[in-house]
Amino acid sequence: MKHGDSLNALLEIASTIVHEATHEWERQNKGKTDEVGPVQAERVFINWVKSNWNMIIMKIPQLANLQNSLYNQKNRDIIGRSGFSTSQI
């Protein structure tokens, strides 16, 4: 899935880091891993982003510009592996 230079790309990268870090944490602390914990961690992260979006763009205003440019493109409602869409912000 290609996101280009967009808010979706940043969020996909961030949620992938959360996903993979959760796999590693489970391997080290539980001795095994599956997709349940990592997928749940991605959802928690995306929900946190949604809940804190106004605070995030106050601290990183450039993200608001990415969001606005994405809204200005027709039919660009990209949903990543986590089920997140920037139109949900």
Query: CA-to-CA distance for 20 and 69, rounded, in angstroms?
Result: 29
Give the pLDDT of residue 78. 36
Q: Single out the residue of 39, 38, 59, 49 nearest to residue 88, CA to CA.
A: 49
Residues of the chain with pLDDT under 70: 1-5, 67-89
Would residue 36 count as lying in a domain?
yes
- Phi, psi values for residue 34, rounded to 5°: -145, -165
pTM exceeds 0.75 for this model: no
Would residue 89 count as lying in a domain?
no
For 7, counting Cβ atoms within 10 Å of its Cβ (0-12 exposed, 13-18 middle, 19+ buried), the class is: buried
Would residue 48 count as lying in a domain?
yes
Give the pLDDT of residue 6. 77
Query: CA-to-CA distance for 59 and 50, rounded, in angstroms?
Result: 15
Structurally, the chain folds into a number of domains equal to 1
Express each pLDDT in 27-42 by its tens digit. Answer: 999 999 999 999 999 9
Would residue 76 count as lying in a domain?
yes
| Residue 66 belongs to domain spanning | 7-81
Answer positive or negative: Cα dihedral of 58, 62, 68, 74: negative
